[in-house]
Amino acid sequence: MELNAGVRSSAQQKALDRLYTPYAKSGRVVPLSNDRYHLAGRVIAKLRGRREAALIANDVLIALSAAQVGGCLFTANHRDFELIAKYVEFSWQAV
């Protein structure tokens, strides 16, 4: 979702589709469970009124995806994920 939202041209969309398709076909795309979406709403509600709430909604979903599969999230966006980690238990590492 977040990658598609950042697409600015048809060439970029085609490149993203080429990247996405093999992962989708092999079952390596993580769909969130209903419980995780429910939790995402609760976390975003806790951030309501803060500038971050609207800006990191997608990052909350990414963190919950990592948590759902027991994976470790590697990110250069330490600021947002540090905030999310106050509300969501997930493994992550700043790079």
Report pLDDT digits (tens) over 42-55. Answer: 998 888 776 666 67
Residue whose C-alpha is closest to residue 89's, from 72, 74, 67: 67
Residue 72: pLDDT band (50, 70, 90) is: very high
Domain boundaries, the chain: 1-30, 33-95
Query: What is the CB-side half-sphere exposure of residue 45 using CA atoms within 13 A?
Result: 6
Beta bridge partners of 72: 91
Q: Say whether pTM exceeds 0.95.
A: no
Residue with tokens 């709403």: 41
d(CA 86, CA 5) in angstroms, rounded, equals 26
Q: CB atoms < 10 A from the CB of 83, how many?
A: 17
